[in-house]
Structure 1
């Protein structure tokens, strides 16, 4: 693979990047009894993995917000275990870097309010035992964020397969792919990620975004690529509501 563009690519309809984050809340949820270890049992015996009803309640309206606006819909954040989903979400929510080393074994619910809208993010862990549940949340979302480890070349075919399976049932669901860990030696640039994930095969009807990201050292302000990502997400959500 070859390519030099490492930061941002937009496939499909152009969207302006505007707005700023005014408020953020971070919550984590997990009930070990809800997620059985190992492969899931047959579908007729499979318990439904449910996000807590309070997941969206920690997102108060910002001052001066229009109370008549429709309630926010969730943004689903998926990707293989180790892709950096939790670290990216924490950076988007707090504007500060905090790397996460422990895999997500359930849900992370993150709420960010801007002057225009509320954004509710729901991350589901990427281990094999949790991927079974991913599709169950697609009908209720307005945007899918799919995070890949740009330096994990061996698992990109698995990431590609799962992404294509996720979106095949919805030809118009907007998708944002974050080619994460761009700071690592050997990381594929976004043109390589575009090819490895065969993003051109996901259809012409949907809005498709590919952004190169990385999470810097703990305690530092987030990178410009993550700031751009946050503002673009805010614009997409505002346009959709």
Structure 2
């Protein structure tokens, strides 16, 4: 057998071995990290609709959460175990019972709501930002229903909610959201996951 043929056979053998290793010995991908997150906001803010869309569930027949629900929301680099708490008046007073163990907070507000409801949402967000079990955690604040004509912009919400002085030194993100633009919602959660991954990151603001 010529040296040329021997070399060709050797190269073929190496190629087949490499393919075999790639196909059979690669092993399962590393597991995605999981984070326990609490999701709060008044009734009608759109918490359930956003989470259902993120889980690729149908949007029909969605009703407000009356107690609490837990969803495992998958993202390319993490899984968020989101505990969504109902926003009715008779449930809000029990929110703090479900804060323990949370690693991050998602607060959803209706940016197109009445001034009265917006003030109520402001008070609840202020309480959450100052709560002993939440005050050191990353916050994702979603000014939802941006598709409605009466929606306030994230900049207007930031000013009205006085977020700069209140949340100074904290890790937080404020973004607009709508079920009509889920790609933007996913991007907001990607930023939030970055805060969860890097606990020593600098405070994030819009």
**TM-score, normalising length: structure 2:** 0.73
Find the counterpart in structure 2 of residue 194 from structure 1.
158
| TM-superposed deviation, 1:121 | 0.6
Give the structure with the larger helix fraction: 2
| TM-superposed deviation, 1:129 | 0.8
Unaligned runs of 5+ in 1: 1-62, 217-221
In 1, are the aligned partners of 2:122 and 2:161 still within 8 Å (CA)? yes
Deviations 1:43-87 (A, max 9, x none): xxxxxxxxxxxxxxxxxxxx52259x7xx3411110000000001
2:187 pairs with 1:228: yes
Aligned CA distance change for structure 1 residues 230 and 168 (closer, same or farther; 3 Å): closer
Aligned CA distance change for structure 1 residues 113 and 184 (closer, same or farther; 3 Å): closer
Aligned CA distance change for structure 1 residues 156 and 99 (closer, same or farther; 3 Å): farther
SS at match of 1:108: strand
Higher relative contact order (CA 8 A, sep 6+): 1
In 1, are the aligned partners of 2:108 and 2:142 still within 8 Å (CA)? yes
Matches within 5 A, 1:1-241: 63-66=28-31, 72-94=34-56, 98=59, 101-114=62-75, 116-154=77-115, 155-170=117-132, 171-216=135-180, 222-240=181-199
| TM-superposed deviation, 1:97 | 6.5
Task: Quote the Cα distance in structure 2 between the aligned partners of 1:116 and 1:227.
Answer: 12
| TM-superposed deviation, 1:185 | 0.9
Task: Quote the Cα distance in structure 2 between the aligned partners of 1:99 and 1:232.
Answer: 28
Root-mean-square deviation (CA, aligned residues, Å) is: 2.4
SS at match of 1:231: helix
Unaligned runs of 5+ in 2: 1-27, 200-206
Deviations 1:107-163 (A, max 9, x none): 221113445433211101100111012122323111111000010032111111111
In 2, are the aligned partners of 1:86 and 1:108 still within 8 Å (CA)? no
Task: Quote the Cα distance in structure 1 between the aligned partners of 2:83 and 2:175.
Answer: 19
SS at match of 1:112: strand
Deviations 1:185-235 (A, max 9, x none): 11111111112222123232211110100112xxxxx53311212322332
Aligned CA distance change for structure 1 residues 190 and 178 (closer, same or farther; 3 Å): same
In 1, are the aligned partners of 2:41 and 2:87 still within 8 Å (CA)? yes
Q: How many residues are aligned here? A: 170
In 1, are the aligned partners of 2:146 and 2:176 still within 8 Å (CA)? yes
Q: Which structure has the bigger radius of gyration?
A: 2
In 2, are the aligned partners of 1:114 and 1:234 still within 8 Å (CA)? no
**TM-score, normalising length: structure 1:** 0.63
